[in-house]
Structure 1
Amino acid sequence: MNIIDRIEAAKPNFTKSDELIYNCIKEDYWIIIREASTIVDLAEKCRVSKSAILRFAKKLGYSGYSEFKYDFSLVGHSSVPEEVHESKFDYILDSYTLAIKNIRQYLKEQDFITLAKKVLRAKKIRLCGYNRSGFTAMQFKYRLINIDIESEVVTDTLMLNVLASSSAENEIFFFFTVRGISSTPLNAFIQTCYETKKTVVVVTMNPNTIYKKYATHFILLPNIKVKGVFLDEQAIFHIFIEILVSYISERLLIEENQTSGQGS
């Protein structure tokens, strides 16, 4: 059941505030994706309180506004008619552009600063992915090599089982998993990493993944599925990597300057 079906099913139990939100969204549900960048913005447009928006989202079965907005983004991406674009070329570019712009709705600068510090403090950096996400993990490794940081790519379940179960201290594991579902072989080891006190970074496009509760840092990115065109979501993972590597590089330079200053 998509979010539109959820709303229609819940209509008999709507309050007056719910009706205001419903009518606002019904006129143009793209205001959630295109115009309203925060829950406060949407509340102002619907002329209700922020808490009313949260209650509305929870009435539909969502834990919070980010999940609510995420499902709207899926509907929005899948309902843009290709005919409104001059060409398929424009359609594809616009789809990627929208997804990239939406990253700022999911992450803040502080998220990247925090992760950069964690990466630099870690004794071991493990980059985990399966299938196409394995290539994403490898791309992350290449980018880290460019700033003289060593890491290990793990795409094999046997190897990950050993590494996840070990008692080594101060390790950080990045798990790239688009769907965040149990059928993806490497995902089963996210819980193991959590239980063995590893720093676990889960990077996914599924706000409802069962592995969210095992993440030290849960990174949710926008989905790029569109109607009638197959586009690979890994591109959004790569954008995330480029932003993070930039912050790691900047933090590395800061720490080097601090060290040289103390030495002089």
Structure 2
Amino acid sequence: MSCIYKIREGTASYTATEKKLAQYVLEHINEVTLISAQVLGERVGVSASAIIRFAKKLGYNGFTAMKVDLAKDDNVDVVNFDDMIQEQDSMEMVVKKAQNLNTMLQNQAYRLINSESLEKAVSALLNCSTIYLFGISGSGIVCMDLMQKLSRINRTAVYHSDFHDQLAAAAHMTKQSVAIAVSYSGKTHEVNAAMRLAKEMGATTIAITQFKKSPLTKLADILLYIPSTERELRLGAIASRNASLIITDLLYLGLAKNNIELTKQYLVKTKDMIDLLK
């Protein structure tokens, strides 16, 4: 996962000292990778121990590990997806902007992926009896897409477009179930209610959400992050939907690769069944 995005996305939870440190790091990336915690502390006006605590808050073992990750990054500005179009833009310009923004979004989404968390999620899905999917609106489209993919490879997945039906189905979750919630904000009341129910029933909980603390992140056993590129008032859930689809596609591919030969057999079988309608 990109160190730069970790630093940026955690801003809301930082103390005053951490915000000061984060700003300096982001403005002097090349410099920070070459100096010690002691020297950085002197330049920022904080203690070396505060720097080490900050690195650990980001998930690193220490400042050295953080510097190694930071050195791999290039500082690409995060552009707000909802700012991409203007009223005076021609359709040709809209196409170009959408292409550029989607390319940027894809890069950000892949940089945020934590391979270890993804492995844990795939392992949980491989060993469960039933997969329950929770999401509404644009996130519901992501759930529907994943359910369709899973059904083609003989994985039992449950999703309903009506949330009352989603919650009714959730009543049958057990310790052998996995619950996947898709929510950009992590604050969707209905989705969080379903995830609380999943926790109570002992199901493994997986959340696909932005890299910020939220009610949903507290309910998830496994967190799979997507970039924060949309505002509270959104032009449309374009960026979050596309980023979430990247994550669910990776979960699908992780399951499919477990037994490629069997996966091919399932895909051929479902294709042949559909061909009967032609």
TM score, norm. by length of structure 1: 0.66
Measure how far apart 1:188 and its partner are: 1.7
Tell me which residue corresponds to 1:124: 130
Tell me which residue corresponds to 1:145: 151
Q: Structure 2 matches for 1:35-184, cutoff 5 A? A: 43-44=32-33, 47-49=35-37, 53=51, 55=53, 64=58, 76-78=78-80, 87-166=93-172, 168-181=174-187, 183-184=188-189
Measure how far apart 1:177 and its partner are: 0.7
Q: Structure 2 matches for 1:21-40, cutoff 5 A? A: 22-23=23-24, 25-26=26-27
2:33 maps to amino acid? E
> For structure 2, which runs of at least 5 residues remain unmatched after alignment?
1-7, 38-47, 61-69, 86-91, 264-278
Paired residue secondary structure (1:225) = coil
When residues 221 and 142 of structure 1 are mapped into structure 2, their CA distance, relative to the original with a 3 A threshold, is: same
Tell me which residue corresponds to 2:88: none
Partner Cα separation in structure 2 for residue 218 and residue 155 of structure 1: 23
Q: Deviations over 1:3-46 (max 9, x none)?
A: 8x98xx948x96xxx4xx6445346xxx6xxxxxxxxx88416x
When residues 89 and 152 of structure 1 are mapped into structure 2, their CA distance, relative to the original with a 3 A threshold, is: same
Partner Cα separation in structure 1 for residue 173 and residue 126 of structure 2: 20
> For structure 1, which runs of at least 5 residues remain unmatched after alignment?
32-40, 257-264
Q: Deviations over 1:107-159 (max 9, x none)?
A: 23333332222212111111111122111111001111232323111343433
1:77 maps to amino acid? V
Tell me which residue corresponds to 2:202: 197
1:205 maps to amino acid? Q
Equivalent residues of 1:129, 1:176 under 8 A apart: yes
Partner Cα separation in structure 1 for residue 82 and residue 50 of structure 2: 29
Q: How large is the Cα RMSD of the aligned pairs?
A: 4.4
Q: How many residues are aligned here?
A: 225
% of aligned pairs identical?
Answer: 15
1:220 maps to amino acid? Y
Equivalent residues of 2:144, 2:159 under 8 A apart: yes
Measure how far apart 1:194 and its partner are: 0.8
Partner Cα separation in structure 2 for residue 249 and residue 91 of structure 1: 34
Paired residue secondary structure (1:220) = strand
